[in-house]
Amino acid sequence: MDADPTQRFSPRVEDYLRYRPGYPEALVDWLHVSQGVADAATVADIGAGTGLSTRLFLDRGHPVIAVEPNDDMRQALLQDLADQPGLQVAAGRGEATGLAEASVDLISCATAFHWLEPGPTRVEWARILRPGGLACVYWNARVPGLSAFLQGYEELLHRYGTDYGKVSERRPDDTAMQAWFGAGYRGMAEFPNPQWLDFNSLYGRVRSSSSAPPPDHPDHAKMREALQRLFDDNAQQGKVRFDYLTRAFVGALPR
């Protein structure tokens, strides 16, 4: 595994931008209605990547500071969201955002969370949150048991992923998330986020994974052939159903 995880995705930016899944609007509804987040709350989107999570909040009228350490991903975000009002972009890390103390109402952190160092991240987020502010950590989870396709997809990643097992081990479970929030933990919610993908989109989705062997890797062609067989075995009218479950955890971060 790379010593600096912020650079893992540099060769995959285009695939990440085009083929990674977004997040459901129901997540923002839940934050507004169930968690009391104001419609105009200032959001710091940590580990914003190419802007999938940033767009979710911009589209709902929130001013957003997108914090992303990877130069290539940050540039892709700027190009894709340049016409969006309310956007600021910063080159910080989750553990050192560079944002002012008590400057944001809500911290959003999606898939990037499992790459961050938990202790320093919590201290930094508590520093930049205003009194009464909340942090929301969420990601799109695959549930292999939901379908034969998802089970086969998981097996493919384990077989051909260069370090997929180690990456998977970094993802926190419910108990770990509750412990990370501590006394400020408010709760969690799950939102279905299914997609229908043709083969080109599915292939792009795999290439966007930092664990997938790149095109010049000796296992890449074998992986693509296995993916094609998996697709052919499970496609309906030229597409496969890719079921995600967006899992979200929210809480305050008292100092």
CATH value at residue 180:
3.40.50.150
Q: Is residue 229 part of a domain?
A: no
Q: Is residue 201 part of a domain?
A: no
Range of the domain at 186: 5-142+169-196+245-251
Number of domains in the chain: 1
Q: Is residue 16 part of a domain?
A: yes
Q: Is residue 132 part of a domain?
A: yes
Q: How confident is the model at residue 11 (pLDDT cuts 50, 70, 90)?
A: low
pLDDT, one tens digit per residue, over 68-97 is 999 999 999 999 998 899 999 999 999 999
6 pLDDT exceeds 60?
no
Q: Is residue 235 part of a domain?
A: no
d(CA 110, CA 123): 18
pLDDT, one tens digit per residue, over 179-219 is 999 999 999 999 999 999 999 999 999 998 878 888 889 99
CA torsion angle 184 185 187 191 (round to 10): 100
165 pLDDT exceeds 70?
no
Model-level pTM? 0.89
Q: Is residue 100 part of a domain?
A: yes
Q: Is residue 111 part of a domain?
A: yes
Q: CA angle, 38 as apex, 32 and 43 as ends, to 5°?
A: 95
Q: Is residue 161 part of a domain?
A: no
Q: Checking DSSP bridges between strand 104-109 and strand 195-197, what pairing results, if any?
A: unpaired
